[in-house]
Amino acid sequence: MFTGIVEELGEVVAVENLGDASQFRLRGPVVTEDAKHGDSIAVNGVCLTVVDTADGEFTADVMAETLKRSSLGALATGSRVNLERPMALGGRLGGHLVQGHVDGTGTILERTPGEHWEIVKIALPAALSRYVVEKGSITVDGVSLTVVDAADDYFTISLIPTTLALTTLGIKKAGDPVNLEVDVLAKYVERLLGRGSADTGGIKDLAEIKEMDR
């Protein structure tokens, strides 16, 4: 579990194409200082398992499913990436609950600079639209952000100078893909209300939830 508060702006050192998978070597002295084999590190919001570490770098295998659902397949040697270690139980939850399980990808449509911030408009896949609401939380390339405006096919976010300086969102431009993870609590609520599919057999309304709690 992550919080979406990026710890470090890392770099892809090497990419090995393994056919239906890839192996990444990434530089991140901060996130690797206590990392070991089997640990998790979020790379642009994607939870990856550490294979090995050495000299401030770590290796991770990326399977076909991850390459299909995220933008990691577009990374190359020299690409900058957002890195975050899992949250520690008992620590502060600075962003929101993030699983590192990407729901889909969006595309940056436009950037509008302000005096002290920047508004970024991102295309929203139709399948994710119902989970994104104004003032709600969303993870973009692993960064926990608050939605400013939410439409059926796009949403906007407001980036402060710290986010622009310390994450890849400061260097991405219109046309670039980004990984999106919606708030998992919204998906659980939908499932409980029986809206996810016709055969969920889920709870149909809030009255049933109250009845179950008695």
Same domain? 71 vs 13:
yes
Same domain? 62 vs 114:
no
Domain assignment of residue 90, yes or no: no
CATH assignment of the domain containing 145? 2.40.30.20
In sequence order, the β-bridge partners of residue 46 are 43
Same domain? 25 vs 76:
yes
Same domain? 148 vs 183:
yes
What pLDDT is stored for residue 37 in this prediction?
Answer: 94
> Is 0.85 topped by the overall pTM?
no
Same domain? 67 vs 128:
no
- Determine if residue 175 is left, alpha or beta; phi over 0 gives left, psi from -120 to 50 gives alpha, anything else beta: left
The single-letter code of the amino acid at 19 is G
* Cβ atoms of 28 and 56 closer than 8 Å: yes
Same domain? 49 vs 21:
yes
Number of separate domains in the chain: 2
In sequence order, the β-bridge partners of residue 24 are 15, 60
pLDDT, tens digit, 9 for 90 and up, residues 127-164: 999 999 999 999 999 999 999 999 999 999 999 999 99
What pLDDT is stored for residue 211 in this prediction?
Answer: 53
DSSP letter, residue 4 = S
Same domain? 75 vs 113:
no
What pLDDT is stored for residue 91 in this prediction?
Answer: 72
pLDDT, tens digit, 9 for 90 and up, residues 42-64: 999 999 999 999 999 999 999 98
Strands (DSSP E) found in 55-115? 57-62, 80-84, 104-113
Which H helix or E strand runs over 136? none
Q: Angle at CA 67, nearest 5°, toward 49 and 200?
A: 90
**Ranges of the chain with pLDDT below 70:** 92, 195-214
What pLDDT is stored for residue 81 in this prediction?
Answer: 97
Q: CA-CA distance, 95 to 2, in Å (whole number)?
A: 9
What pLDDT is stored for residue 40 in this prediction?
Answer: 94
Domain assignment of residue 137, yes or no: yes
The beta-carbon contacts of 111-116 under 8 Å, at least 24 apart in sequence, are: 111/173, 111/174, 116/160, 116/161
What pLDDT is stored for residue 208 in this prediction?
Answer: 53
Question: In which domain, by residue range, is 179 found?
Answer: 104-194
* Cβ atoms of 24 and 62 closer than 8 Å: yes
